[in-house]
Amino acid sequence: MDLLIFGTCNSILLALIATGFSLTFGISGVANFAYGAIYVCGGLFVWALISKAGFPYLASIVISIITMGLFGYALYWVFLFRLRGLVLNEVIATFSGGMAILQLLRYLGFHGYEYALPPFMEGSIEIGGVGIELQRFFMIGIGAALVLFLYFFTHHTRLGLAFRGMSQDERTAITLGIDSDKTAALALAFGSSLATVASITILPLGIIDIDRGFDALIFALAVGMVGGLESVPGVIIASFILGFSQQFVAVFFGSAYTMVVFLSAIIFVLAVKPAGILGKFKELEERV
């Protein structure tokens, strides 16, 4: 039962972190390597609004999600607009931008033990005889709600359909009147907001730390590579495979070996199906 409960929690945690990165990449083709920095900034922004400006928790969350979304939107138009399509340049720009943000935060002193978000609700509950913190329980709920929201959004809203059109075939989408740059910028905004949702949900479990930004990026990449970088359903499936595998390895072999799960899964997927479980981008090359 422990394995089932904490395996689910771990899987949802990975899915929350990886979804924003995958969504952005799937729609705009931009691998946003500043994703980890945005993840940390989102959490720190909520912390600052609560502890320095005295805002209520819920209002701080909403403001932070919107602000980081606007940041992602601006990131596209200021830095990525001119680089679009130059894959290496995109990677260099976003990676160096992300590093600069994290190092700036470190320089400004946001590195210590005092930066923590309060849990949404203190306490714990028992599920099947297993005690679990309420925050972790909320995380499962938020993860499930996010999946439902994304499904509804991408199937029943104009913008969501435009996102899907872009991710399926950008040129055809353009011929149908979808503005490629505008949609890509919105994808960056959407991905940044999702990174903030993830950080606000996950960071109350521990402390806001700059190094968690590096972890978030690595987790997002690993899950994306296994599931298919551009495929949100693939990312969710990969999250559950990796989340449960990690928990299984931690319980039966030791927590220290959990990182081996990522590495082994990446090597296996690259050898067998380089596009990832539901990825399409490299399928043609694979056939050749």
Residue 126 β-bridge partners: 131
Least CB distance to other proteins at residue 232 (A): 23
Measured between alpha carbons, how far is 277 from 288 in angstroms, rounded to an integer? 18
Q: Which is nearer to other proteins, 85 or 109 (CB)?
A: 109
Q: Which is nearer to other proteins, 167 or 199 (CB)?
A: 199
Q: Which is nearer to other proteins, 186 or 261 (CB)?
A: 261
Q: What tokens were used for 86?
A: 């130059």
Least CB distance to other proteins at residue 114 (A): 6
Residues of this chain that interact with other proteins (CB under 8 A) are 2, 6, 9-10, 13, 106-107, 109, 111-114, 116, 122, 124, 130-133, 202, 205-207, 209, 211-212, 214-215, 247, 250-251, 254-256, 258-259
Least CB distance to other proteins at residue 208 (A): 8
Least CB distance to other proteins at residue 271 (A): 24
SS (H, E, C) 224-270: HHHHCCCCHHHHHHHHHHHHHHHHHHHHHCCHHHHHHHHHHHHHHHH
Least CB distance to other proteins at residue 112 (A): 4
Q: What tokens were used for 245?
A: 């595998």
Least CB distance to other proteins at residue 11 (A): 11
Q: What tokens were used for 239?
A: 């999250």
Q: Which is nearer to other proteins, 2 or 181 (CB)?
A: 2
Q: 269 and 277 in contact (C-beta within 8 Å)?
A: yes
Helix (H, G, I), strand (E, B) or coil at 133: strand
Q: Which is nearer to other proteins, 59 or 251 (CB)?
A: 251
Measured between alpha carbons, how far is 182 from 186 in angstroms, rounded to an integer? 6
The Cα-based distances of 183 to 31, 166, 171, 279 in angstroms read: 15, 8, 13, 21
Q: Which is nearer to other proteins, 106 or 155 (CB)?
A: 106
Q: Which of 42, 36, 34, 37 is nearest to 64 (CA)?
A: 42
